[in-house]
Amino acid sequence: MTPVEGAPDYLERAARPRLAYRHVAGRGPTIVFLPGYMSDMAGGKATALFDWAAAEGHACLLLDYAGCGLSDGLFADQTLLDWRGDVLDLIDAKAEGPVLIVGSSMGGWLMLLTALALVQRDGPARVAGLVGIAAAPDFTDWGFSDAEKALILAEGELREETPYGDQPYVTTRGFWQSGEANRLLDAKIPLACPVRLLHGEEDKDVPPAISLRLSTALASEDVQVTLVKGGDHRLSRNTDIALLVDTVARLAG
């Protein structure tokens, strides 16, 4: 049995849905994986990273956002900041000391928002580093046409077919407005920790230029962008996952 098989643990909260998570204790920093939009902790990258961390004695934390995966709550009720709150609640509950946050796609945006909140509250030592996988900050801005934005505002949601699952992608007005209120790329992002950004050259969903914009916006002097030849948005080939694990291992020490 691998560490991610079996029933998850749950974090009970008074005012918000309970959250499904998986945690393995070990040496720090605690590696925290943040999945993408309408994704969960059962994905290949999360599973591979958790298994590697457990085998190597690193602390690692996976979670499902409220309304996603095995967590409680309705997906349509959640906003970007709600999900940031989910991440912060679980970090506070399970991760002592510094964290190394890994964010995939939308999880890359939450990675940045979470790191900013932790640094503001606890100081820069709380965030040991960041690893983005096709990080998608500000996608409510660049990811939709003007017509799609108008439809979201007028009708309350946008439904789109996706190649990544049977269910359509649903973007609600509440989520879109939360995203627009928390855009990051047009100003300096005051994070000084090491940052590694992995991006497939063939990504059709998040242009590789977004990782380059993010690199420019970050205050950190230790930012590296790796463009992966032939890599798509998911970066889930065996070689891609090996690159991810190696990147995390180098930052985790």
Active site residues: 105, 203, 233
* Plot region of 123 (φ>0 → left; ψ -120 to 50 → alpha; else → beta): left
The SS3 assignment for 102 reads: strand
Q: Largest Cα–Cα distance of the chain, in whole Å?
A: 50
The SS3 assignment for 186 reads: coil
Nearest alpha-carbon partner for 244 in 199, 191, 192 = 199
Residues 6+ apart with CB under 8 A from 58: 26, 27, 28, 31, 52, 252
The SS3 assignment for 22 reads: strand
CA angle, 40 as apex, 39 and 42 as ends, to 5°? 125
Report whether 43 contacts 31 (CB < 8 A). Answer: no
Helix (H) or strand (E) holding 109: helix 106-122
Amino acid at the residue 183: R
The SS3 assignment for 57 reads: coil
Cα(222)–Cα(146) distance, integer angstroms? 35
Residues 6+ apart with CB under 8 A from 3: 22, 24, 50, 51, 54
